[in-house]
Amino acid sequence: MIEVNKDNYEEEVLKSNMPVLVDLWGPKCGPCLALMPQVEELANEFEGKVKFCKLNVADNRKLVISLRVMGVPTFLFYKGGEIVDRLSGADAVPDSIRAKAEKLV
């Protein structure tokens, strides 16, 4: 997974040639930390088809606000530089993440 921040978000996510999933997480977010190993497995599963990135919300507050993210965990799904779907809170479970990633391919 690629760690993104305000400096590389445009290049890695918005200008990506392939679909992108952005995992917004926080270091004090228990559900985020619990999901991370499963999200990393999905990143391996979709390697070469969907780019998986993670964004630490604690270090990138302005970017997170600009993305209209109100809580974590949140997953943003991009295609052609545009957000086409999102998952957050209780809906952010591995099966839902996989299903939405498959729609990107």
Q: Where are the domains of the chain?
A: 2-104
State how far the Cα of 76 lies from the Cα of 83, in Å rounded to an integer. Answer: 7
Name the CATH architecture for the domain at 2-104. 3-Layer(aba) Sandwich (3.40)
pLDDT band at 1; cut points 50, 70, 90:
very high
**36-88 pLDDT tens trace:** 999 999 999 999 999 999 999 999 999 999 999 999 999 999 999 999 999 99
Rg (CA), the chain: 12
pLDDT band at 92; cut points 50, 70, 90:
very high
Query: Strands 20-25 and 2-4, how do they pair?
Result: unpaired
Is the pTM higher than 0.85? The answer reads: yes
- Which residues are designated catalytic? 29, 32
Residues 6+ apart with CB under 8 A from 103: 77, 85
